[in-house]
Amino acid sequence: MMGDMAGLEDVEQPRQRGGATAGRWIPSGKDEQALSALELFGNPTEAEVRLPSRPESASAARRITHSVVLRQWALSPQTAEHAVLLVSELVGNAVRHTGARVFGLRMLRRRGWIRIEVRDPSRGLPCLMPVREMDTSGRGLFLVDKLSDRWGVDLLPRGKTTWFEMRIADRQPP
């Protein structure tokens, strides 16, 4: 089921570093794109980041998420991979189904948990549908449900926030 993860083409898998010598981290092309996205849109750990509601914004949201989870929060590559996939699904839903001009991305960390939120101006609730093996679409919330520890929707006076939370092993960033 998880062998073919659509939407992760922009995410480079981290390489294990060998040897005992400490080296300076040199950003790869993908890291540089993530840093550019953070500079352009802002850091979602400090305040909500607003992105245009266009398909290409999913790529920016994935890069930002990957950079925050892996580099800023120093969490595991698997946590980063799952967070990126789930952000991609929530952003895809916001872009496809809400008619919004912009959506918001916010990332929070507290002891033992991370929470990632996507806010849009629609009050239409997402619906978790049954998924069959041959389905080619409609798997987004199914993946969110399976890979996150909790998820939900908070209705706002104007719109909603769809969020997911994942348990993490607490490690302090280096």
Q: What mean pLDDT do residues 83-96 have?
A: 93
In the prediction, which pLDDT does 25 show? 38
In the prediction, which pLDDT does 3 show? 41
**Calpha distance 144→164 (Å, rounded):** 7
Q: At which residue do the structure tokens 């898998």 appear?
A: 13
* φ, ψ dihedrals at 24, nearest 5°: -80, 135
pLDDT (tens digit per residue) in 102-133: 999 999 999 999 999 999 999 988 877 777 66
- Helices within 43-162 (DSSP H only): 57-66, 77-97, 140-147
One of 3.40.50.12280, 3.30.465.10, 3.40.190.10, 3.30.565.10 is the CATH number of 29-167, namely: 3.30.565.10
